[in-house]
Amino acid sequence: MSKNILIGSGLSALGFLENLNKDINLESFDKNTYFGGHGYSHKFDDCFIDEGAHISHTKDKEFLDYIDANNLKRFTKFNSKIVNYYQEKKIGYPIQLNLKDLTFSEKFKYLKSFFLKTKKLEDCYNYYDWLVSTYGKFLADKYYSMYTKKYWRTDPSDMSLDWVKGRLAEKNIFKTLISLFLELKNSSLVYDEFRYPKKNGFFDFFINKFKQFDIKLDHNVKKISIKKKKVYFSNGKSANYDYLISSIPLVDYLNILEELPEEMSRILNSLKYTKLATYNYKILKKKDYDFHWCYFYDSKIPISRMSILNNWNDENKDNYYLVQGEVFFRNDETFDMNQCDKRTKEHIIKFFNLESDKEILLEKKIIVEKAYPVPLLNQKKNIEKIKSWLQSQNIYQIGLYGNWQFMWSDQAFNSGKQAAEIINTHKL
């Protein structure tokens, strides 16, 4: 009987475990002292904090049934309340469907750019072209390009279009022009509704699912030998395999995979990703904010996206806010974290009208070493090449970082499910 090993315990691993035939031999390992991967919710001072803005906005009925999302005793369904801020001014979300909030001068500039000839959507080569064609050059340059450089830490002209579909509002000329003068009742939000646990953070969707599986924790992969088909862990232990199912980020193979061909090393070295610093504060409530999260279209403000977490659940809403600000930086850039800490706190104090940092009841920073793969131009074929090579070595990749593809939680789960179906079919 073949010996199979699963590395990782995130949502893609859960999808794999739930769908693998029970008679197939498998050992599961994870580097952390807890299971759940990036879906895990950390507890501080009786508050649960996620690794970024994690919600369930899927329309996949099978996945919703799996996580019991319609159980109103545990989970709440919200109509999304999202806003933008630019130079302290609130603008509706998304901007292109809330042009009434712009100044007269900005409206004029938008209309002027609206009549400029742009590429057809099907002829767009990069993300910047898509932005101009979809939203017009004025909005693309003033808002979206700036925000892209802040969130993805990459110029939009260097980004592909592989990740866009279903994630950003599509072109709607009629609604956009109407929004110059009127508030749209239906603004066609991509995330028009979402679900979130009443308590214990995002991980409460999955915690009982994980508990049924035997996952060996605190097993960080130090080295993998393809020739010996053996995984070595930092704790001194090792395990042999015939087939390896892995959510290990592709770039990590540069340091842990022996017998890595030069071409594969070159491909892996070309991949870029963002890191994430989440700034989490429990602060005295001085002003009323009812939004779930907001975006800051200001390059001087480090935070890209800010969530008020206790607007999502049953935690105390009367006396304090539990706030999370997300700051991104790229793996290949120099970043002054001390300056970022200082400017982020100053912004929080100003935004929430605090008199001083003494009105901050809890302050906790969490660094997520890998947030999102950056979807660079012309890398899709190379990613498929490295995945195909790994598969030829009996290594099957799952998940967001395993596939180097932007995924939501249900998509990550389903990538694990698809890998399980391959293993089941092969009866490994």
In this predicted model, what pLDDT tens digit does every residue of 351-410 receive, in sequence order? 999 999 899 999 999 999 999 999 999 999 999 999 999 999 999 999 999 999 989 999
Cα 114 from Cα 99, distance rounded (Å):
13
Joined tokens for residue 331: 């793996």
Distance, in Å, from the CA atom of 215 to the CA atom of 21, rounded to the nearest integer, reads: 17
| φ/ψ bin of 312: left (φ > 0), alpha (ψ from -120 to 50), beta (otherwise) | alpha
Contact yes or no for 366/280 (Cβ under 8 A): yes
Domain 4-36+206-271+376-426 has CATH 3.50.50.60: yes
The answer to whether the beta carbons of residues 380 and 160 sit under 8 Å apart is yes
Helix (H) or strand (E) holding 369: strand 360-373
* Model pLDDT, residue 417: 96
Name residue 274's beta-bridge partners.
330, 372
Contact 409, 38 (CB under 8 A): no
Structure confidence at residue 427 (pLDDT)? 54
Residues of the chain with pLDDT under 70: 1-2, 186-189, 314-317, 427-428
Q: What is the largest CA-CA distance in the chain?
A: 72
Is 364 in a helix, a strand, or coil? strand
d(CA 327, CA 275): 8
Q: What is the residue type of 89?
A: K
Instruction: Name the pTM for this structure.
Output: 0.93
CA terminus-to-terminus distance, the chain: 7
Give the integer Cα–Cα distance in Å for 267 and 213. 35
141-150 in b/e form (b: 16+ CB < 10 A) is bbbbbbbbeb
Residue 3: its pLDDT value, please?
87
pLDDT at res. 399:
96
Q: How many CB atoms lie within 10 A of CB 122?
A: 6
pLDDT of residue 315: 62
The values of phi and psi at residue 75, to 5°, are -130, 155
Closest CA to 192 of 97, 127, 315: 97
Distance (Å, whole) CA 353 – CA 289: 12
C-alpha to C-alpha distance for 202 and 204, rounded to whole angstroms: 5
Residue 86 token pair: 């630019």
Alpha-carbon distance of 377 to 355, in angstroms, equals: 46
Task: Report the CATH architecture of 43-92+189-201+273-375.
Answer: Alpha-Beta Complex (3.90)
Kindly compute the dihedral angle of the four CA atoms of residues 291, 294, 298, 304, in this order, to the nearest 10 degrees. 150
Ordered by start, the domain boundaries in the chain are 4-36+206-271+376-426, 43-92+189-201+273-375, 94-188
Q: In what order do the strands lie in the sheet with 215-216?
A: 215-216, 26-29, 4-7, 243-246, 395-397
Q: Return the axis-axis angle of helices 11-19 and 409-426, rounded to nearest 10°.
A: 40
Per-residue model confidence (pLDDT) at position 316: 61
C-alpha 83/C-alpha 97 separation (Å) is: 12
pLDDT, one tens digit per residue, over 59-111 is 899 999 999 998 989 999 999 999 999 999 999 999 999 999 999 999 999 98
Q: Which residue, among 308, 287, 413, 395, has the nearest Cα to 17 in the 3D structure?
A: 413
Give the model's pLDDT for residue 77.
92
Contact (Cβ atoms closer than 8 angstroms) between residue 20 and residue 423: yes
Alpha helices in 261-334 (DSSP H): 262-270
d(CA 267, CA 262): 9
What mean pLDDT is reported for the chain?
92
